[in-house]
């Protein structure tokens, strides 16, 4: 039974790589922007 699970896992991985090659990489969520504090007083000079 363990052998069948390993084969299925390899097939899933192969199918994912094939789909990625045909359709492009999977869409990844955009990273969240990190707010950068700005010293307003120094910008006005």
> Which comes out higher in pLDDT, residue 33 or 3?
3
Structure pTM? 0.48
Please write down the HEC assignment for all residues of the chain. Answer: CHHHHHHHHHHHHHHHHHHHHHHCCCCCCCCCCCCCCCCHHHHCC
pLDDT digits (tens, 9 = 90+) for 17-45: 888 888 876 666 778 888 888 877 755 55
At 14, is the pLDDT very low, low, confident or very high (cuts 50, 70, 90)?
very high
Distance, CA of 44 to CA of 38 (rounded, Å): 11
Distance, CA of 27 to CA of 9 (rounded, Å): 22
At 9, is the pLDDT very low, low, confident or very high (cuts 50, 70, 90)?
very high
> Which comes out higher in pLDDT, residue 15 or 40?
15
């Amino acid at each position: 039974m363990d052998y069948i699970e390993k084969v299925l896992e390899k097939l899933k991985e192969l199918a994912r790589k094939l789909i990625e090659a045909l359709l492009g990489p999977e869409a990844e969520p955009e990273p969240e922007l990190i707010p950068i504090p700005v010293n307003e007083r120094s910008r006005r000079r």
